[in-house]
Structure 1
Amino acid sequence: MKQAAIMIDKHFILSDIDERIYGSFVEHLGRCVYEGIYQPGHPAADENGLRQDVAALIRELNVPVTRYPGGNFVSGYKWEDSVGPKAERPSKIDLAWRVVESNQFGLNEFMEWTKTVNTQPMMAINLGTRGLEAAKNIIEYTNLEKGSYYSDLRRQHGVEKPHDIKLWCLGNEMDGPWQEGHKTALEYGRIAEEAGKAMRLVDPTIETVACGSSNLDMPTFAFWEDTVLSQCYDQVDYISTHQYYGNHDDNSQQYLASSDGMDQFIREVIAICDAVKAKRRAKKNINISFDEWNVWYHSNEQDKQIEPWTQHPHQLEDVYNFEDALLVASMMITMLRHADRVKIGCLAQLVNVIAPIMTSDTGVWKQTIFYPFAMISNQGRGHVLHTQIKAPTFESRYGNSSYLDAVVIENEAADQLTIFAVNKDLADDLELTCDLRQYEGYCLDQHVMLHHDDLKAINTEAAPDTVAPVAGKNLTFENGHLSGMLPSQSFHMIQLKKA
């Protein structure tokens, strides 16, 4: 049996965890909104058309922040179309996804939904086909109490108190040629600076996110970040990173190494941010908002068959399997290992569209990726300890990749220590050890495991529990030493508490 060790010191704290690292994403795409979170007339819908069976599962995920309304969708979006009497809202074509948007669910409906699921908004503005004036107007509508045109317009729409939205994305993926209003780095950096400046004049308490590269393989990567931040450094707090992975060549071992690519991406963006900081002799850090990340590839072929200019088609509806859940766990562990600079993360997306939750007219169920997200989101609060790993490795496209992926989190308020770990070895178990003698008086409280012999196993409406957590049984904690076996291809949440 292969040997692995996790090494920590309770005094070596990396960072407090910003709970917004466990955020998600709702875009007007496919059935994420319509037939997802919003379906008037459905037996589970409330008087506002919000599906409460879906809301219950979202609350289980414990999502502190939700990005909205896009995504590619936002780069052609006119927010004014989504407010006011529904009968007067226009249906518009959306060039991003080649569908028709009815605007029956809009800004105020979204804000009502955030209260239902206990999340906070992360609002994106259109810097593709629009600019400074629209940016100023939307924050006036959402954040000023009264006495101006747009704040009074909100009140006429039945919303007396301001929404007080504090987190704003300055556009979406503006480096991408697929984006409406695609810009060069210099063009985007200038409009981001001016939009951010105007918005802060309306509400100086907001935080803003500049668009970074759409993925690590973009030909403009690094040049984009350097140029953009050189223009708008003083007006932004975060720069975004986006990354999706897929097992395109059906090589599961290589696929599970993808989180090493995510780690590389984060490290390189941090280096660029700090280089710009040094050039500008700035005091503040620019941190990372990893506001689109997930597995996305299962639905690529079926999406080619979608008829254009329909409303909310079955689009990007990946059916996730067990190996996807393992990678999602590793991606979350990767972000936590950079919690000193990764402050916001948004799993893309939340319902139906590359999502942990799926719906039909007759029910709602949890995809395989639901479970690692829920476990880490709910139990990964506190601060991250510098986590060192000694484990066997395998050759991957990223170099030597460790079979063990792990992070240790201490929650002092709860007298709790939590280890999240993935055994990526598809053949062998790992014999794990960890010296925790610094945590005198602690005992093993729970060990929850996600494991399946079939990497391609999926959950469906008819069989929703094919892949689900079970109690682990192979660990012991004696005299301050944790030891035991982690089965091949498995994810673990190991929790110790003070007796």
Structure 2
Amino acid sequence: MRKAIQLGLGLACAIAAQAQVTVDKPIPQVVQVEVNAAQKVGQPIPRTIFGSFLEPIGNSTYNGLWAELLQNPSFEAGLWTPAKIEEMLRERPELRRAGDLAIPLPWEPLNAGQGNRYEIRAGDAANSWQSLMVIGVPGEPTGIKQMVYLPVHRTRDFQGSFYARHLGGASRITVSLRLHDQNEILASQDLDVSNTGDWKKYTFALQIPEDKLHRLDPADFVVQLDDDERVELDQFSLMPADALDGLDPDEVAMAKALHSPLVRFGGNFTSSYHWTDGIGPRDKRRNMLNNSWGIPEYNTFGTDEFLAFCRAIGAQPQIALNLGSGTPEEAASWVRYVDEHWTTHSGLLWELGNELWGNWNLGWPTKGQLAQRTLDFSKAIRGVDPTARLIATGGDPEVFHDWNAIQLTIPPGTFDYLSTHFVVGTSNVKLKNASPDFVQQAALAMPIELERKLQEDQQQIDSTPGYAGKVHIAFTEWLFIGDRRSAPNFTNTSGALITGGFLNMLMRNSGTVPISDMTGIMEFAGIWKKRSQVFGTPAYYVLKMYANADAAQPVTVKADSGAYSVKQGVDRLPEIAAVPYLDVVALLSEDGRKLTLFCVNRSLQTDITAKLHLDGFAAARKANVQVLSSDLLTDANDEIDPDKVTPIDSMETIPAGEWSRVFPHASVTVIGIERK
């Protein structure tokens, strides 16, 4: 009996959970989509709503966009926080032996059985603070190694360098690439390091034979001493020969294909980043801790490299300044430097800090300090570049009012935009015992409520004397995170659907939000690299579908597809009403020769049949159609299957009169139609 009661209660809870999504109007058997291309809506959308975001976090730059294959090349201590070291040792427990022998992680001894043959030296390094002395054992191989993943699917040629100072004994060093944890040498080069006294730089080249190492297989980079040699080593580098001045060519190619017009360089690390650490000769840039994320900041990817990346992909730089440990003078000097190194510098975007309301940012200002700090930095920047467009730190969409009210006490003209961020955990719903479907529907609804919040944000700005029509919103970070496998996440198909809904919302509101940066161009919802295999998330492909469309001028579109409402949903936006199942935005190209429809089907189960009526546009007989969907909303791409979820392109015939087509459930569809 007790079991029957428990089952009954469980069923009742499940029904109650599902009841928190109410159907306002069911999906019609046939949805009528009416587009009037002759009736324009608002102003042309700026391409800057398709921007992206780059921050040194995880493996976004180092071990990612930056093609360097070695970690901790300068043998430094303190490059990882204790928590990150614990994580590294959990994944690779064999590294504990290196720590016992005073070898900086993640380097290892070539022969652990030899015991203590290594000494950290400080104070006279070739780079930063530390170097490593290695003492050879006569008649035995002695040295160090590091596990690496090589992009052999793309190239088998590798180039490298290191600094050495001969201390005694033999003078030959052999650098090689070997099969991981095996003695089989794939490629090697001998170098004579007989110099004494001063540090000297040595270069080498290694070529791996065909069929000796396969995609995703690890290798070891090995440095071996000859006989009784004693040598001091520092500042190693190992690069694929096809690196683009240090950049990974696969990641650059995927970023260029995205056609993102803006790349924001910023994030939490901004509050403790000093730009002068990342300029000058790369071999001499200091290795240090990334204060925000507990990982190394090698500074080899600095301002010049970021600008080179922007040039390579055809994007404009958008840089967040250090309003934490930095000064107005430091910010102004960075603006001057970028202006001198970016030929079309007029009107570049500069962000006055990042999430200054968060105590995780170094040197966060109190509310009493906020306005003056914003004003001081603005004056310093405008003093060196009056054309600079400034983004002041604003509050998140659902809690903006009090914070933004402080910024709006500053004299008008101090800044051009107020930022907002929305980095949200989709699993954090208010409903107890929520089903996976409820979590999905609540997450997919969020762009609809964000649209309303952003309009309220703009109303506050416009109601402030001197600000109406002069300051708008810059959505400089947005990301959807699920902490359980069944939840929408930035890496899975469900996250791609939210991305489509979010971009539709931005296109409807580009007059309010003319700037937006999806998190991020590397990692998160963008481009990943694992074991040297580069791949994009489903959300990356949705942003690519939108940013590559020849679409500028919104026109009237109506789609009576039915709607649902959410209660007790995601904690940041728990109550959302009137969420359309089929969300459609229509735009003309600048020359009016092309009409593009952006369509998101939020229904988890229903393939929506629609009849499309195109008024004011004589369509050609063929349409280009891109559809992104998958068998499961949790499907994701990875290094093993990098193309599991990608758009399917096709050409469809447009019949005379009405055009009927089916939009798959849980899908994003972009339809491009040429004028006859």
- What's the TM-score bracket when you normalise by the shorter of the two chains? 0.7 to 0.9
Q: Percent identity?
A: 26
Q: 1:129 to 1:362 in 2, by over 3 A?
A: closer
CA distance in 2, matches of 1:333, 1:141: 37
CA apart distance, 1:12: 2.7
Structure 1 letter corresponding to 2:670: M
Aligned residues of 2:45 and 2:514 also touching (Cα < 8 A): yes
Number of the residue aligned with 1:484 = 661
The answer on 1:355 being equivalent to 2:525 is yes
Aligned residues of 2:462 and 2:468 also touching (Cα < 8 A): no
Aligned residues of 2:34 and 2:612 also touching (Cα < 8 A): yes
Q: Which has the higher strand share?
A: 2
Q: 1:217 to 1:162 in 2, by over 3 A?
A: closer
State the aligned residue count: 459
CA apart distance, 1:206: 1.4
Number of the residue aligned with 1:252 = 440
Q: 1:462 to 1:321 in 2, by over 3 A?
A: same
CA apart distance, 1:254: 1.6
Aligned residues of 2:499 and 2:543 also touching (Cα < 8 A): yes
1:231 aligned to which of 410, 413, 428:
410
Number of the residue aligned with 2:261 = 64
The answer on 1:108 being equivalent to 2:278 is no
CA apart distance, 1:322: 1.2
1:340 aligned to which of 499, 511, 526:
511
CA apart distance, 1:45: 4.5
CA distance in 1, matches of 2:352, 2:484: 29
The answer on 1:130 being equivalent to 2:318 is no
CA apart distance, 1:335: 0.7
Q: Which moved more, 1:98-107 or 1:489-498?
A: 98-107
Number of the residue aligned with 1:313 = none
Number of the residue aligned with 1:89 = 285
Q: Which moved more, 1:161-170 or 1:57-66?
A: 161-170
Number of the residue aligned with 2:625 = 447
Number of the residue aligned with 1:13 = 41
1:29 aligned to which of 40, 46, 57:
57
SS in 2 for 1:199: helix
Number of the residue aligned with 1:51 = 248
Larger Rg, first or second structure (1 or 2): 2
SS in 1 for 2:247: coil
CA distance in 2, matches of 1:73, 1:267: 30
CA RMSD of aligned residues (A): 2.4
The answer on 1:436 being equivalent to 2:624 is no
Number of the residue aligned with 1:329 = 500
Structure 1 letter corresponding to 2:264: R
Structure 2 spans left out of the alignment, 5+ residues: 1-27, 69-237, 430-435, 567-574
Q: 1:451 to 1:224 in 2, by over 3 A?
A: same
Aligned residues of 2:551 and 2:590 also touching (Cα < 8 A): no
Structure 1 letter corresponding to 2:372: R
Q: Which has the higher helix share?
A: 1
Query: What aligned pairs does 1:239-318 form with structure 2 within 5 A after superposition?
Result: 239-248=418-427, 250=436, 251-276=439-464, 279-280=465-466, 282=467, 284-298=469-483
Aligned residues of 1:240 and 1:290 also touching (Cα < 8 A): yes
Aligned residues of 1:44 and 1:51 also touching (Cα < 8 A): no
CA apart distance, 1:90: 2.4
2:66 aligned to which of 19, 32, 38:
38
The answer on 1:462 being equivalent to 2:640 is yes
2:671 aligned to which of 490, 494, 497:
494
Q: 1:419 to 1:390 in 2, by over 3 A?
A: same
Aligned residues of 2:347 and 2:387 also touching (Cα < 8 A): no
1:139 aligned to which of 335, 344, 356:
335
CA distance in 1, matches of 2:674, 2:515: 27
Aligned residues of 1:26 and 1:349 also touching (Cα < 8 A): yes
Aligned residues of 1:111 and 1:163 also touching (Cα < 8 A): no
CA distance in 2, matches of 1:176, 1:232: 24
The answer on 1:205 being equivalent to 2:205 is no
The answer on 1:195 being equivalent to 2:371 is no
Q: 1:90 to 1:206 in 2, by over 3 A?
A: same
Structure 1 spans left out of the alignment, 5+ residues: 145-158, 301-317
CA distance in 2, matches of 1:243, 1:161: 33
What's the TM-score, normalizing by structure 1? Answer: 0.86
Q: 1:53 to 1:47 in 2, by over 3 A?
A: closer
Structure 2 letter corresponding to 1:323: S
Q: 1:473 to 1:102 in 2, by over 3 A?
A: closer
Structure 1 letter corresponding to 2:598: F
CA apart distance, 1:345: 0.9
Structure 2 letter corresponding to 1:268: E
What's the TM-score, normalizing by structure 2? Answer: 0.64
CA apart distance, 1:260: 1.7
